[in-house]
Amino acid sequence: MKRIISPLLAGLLSVGLIACSKQGPDSAPAEASAPASAAAAAPAGAATVGLAISTLNNPFFVSLKNGAEAEAKKEGITLITVDAQDDPAKQQASVEDLIQKKVSVILINPTDSAAVAPVVKEATDKGIKVISLDRSVTGAEVSAHIASDNVAGGKMAAEFLLEKIGGKGNVVELEGIAGSSAARERGQGFHSVIDGKADVKLAARQPADFDRAKGLSVMENIIQGNKHIDGVFAHNDEMALGAVKALQAAGLKKVVVVGFDATADAVAAVKAGDLAATVQQQPELIGQSGVQAAKKLIDGQTVDKFIPVPLNLIK
């Protein structure tokens, strides 16, 4: 049976809080929306907002996009979505295109938190407001940042994992994309709990870039070198599900695997008993909140620098 525990940020966010927002630090690939036709279809005087997504080859960001699109439709805002397909250079080019189209606000989910800084500065220098979603921007100021507390989520995952393995054993960490704030912060939270535990050994710590196929192959390689594994923390569900497949193929079905994001596939895996738990974010709410904050900026209102989105643990 699925149970949801909400130890962090208890209480519902009010509409007002969602609409206010922080400074940006940090599944077959979907094609970007057609910007030209979207802009042409906009009613006279309609506001246009750009949404620059790191990848749509990940159900988490598809949900984020869906939340933004639904809110934009509700608010009468034209939303132009561009997909970087996890390529920092492509994201820079697509954001430059949004700047040329003179959008009012850019919502950005960085592929690389630092690499995106120059184009964010370019946008703000031209008077375009920028709001970062889920991952922060490093090295450039933005009007708002909307995300869950990734450090707290990493701690939540570590505490649950330690509880399940009895406070001792060999654990593996599958890291996200190097340079992304999500990978850095989730890892930071995880290590704040496990580091210094005498009976816990970090058997392996390797990147798998938030990708399911890479999570599978990286976990297979780790297993070849060491089958004495008690627990795995993956920085997202895609990697966690890849790791589960590798572990099952190797006959290691008792290893405790914890993911992050609570995608539909991950929640189903928790129900089936294949995945021990997943830290739940709310990507649709992140996308919705981004458009609400953008609307406030367009209307000349101020927004908070940070909008926290609550975390839960599904187990």
Model pLDDT for residues 250-271, shown as the tens digit of each residue: 999 999 999 999 999 999 999 9
Per-residue pLDDT tens digits for 182-217: 999 999 999 999 999 999 999 999 999 999 999 999
pLDDT the model gives residue 46? 75
* pLDDT surpassing 60 at residue 40: no
Residue 45 banded pLDDT, cuts 50, 70, 90: low
| Structural domain spans, the chain | 4-146+284-307, 150-280
pLDDT the model gives residue 26? 40
% of the chain surpassing 90 pLDDT = 85
Q: Which fold has domain 150-280?
A: Rossmann fold (3.40.50)
**Between 39 and 185, residue with greater pLDDT:** 185
Closest CA to 84 of 135, 43, 125, 121: 135
pLDDT the model gives residue 18? 36
The mean per-residue pLDDT over the stretch 224-230 comes to 95
Per-residue pLDDT tens digits for 287-314: 999 999 999 999 999 999 999 999 999 9
Report the CATH superfamily, name and number, of domain 4-146+284-307.
Answer: Response regulator (3.40.50.2300)
Per-residue pLDDT tens digits for 5-29: 443 333 333 333 333 333 343 433 3
Which residues partner with 231 through β-bridges?
Answer: 171, 256
Do the domains 4-146+284-307 and 150-280 sit in the same CATH topology, yes or no?
yes
Q: How far apart are the first and last CA of the chain?
A: 8
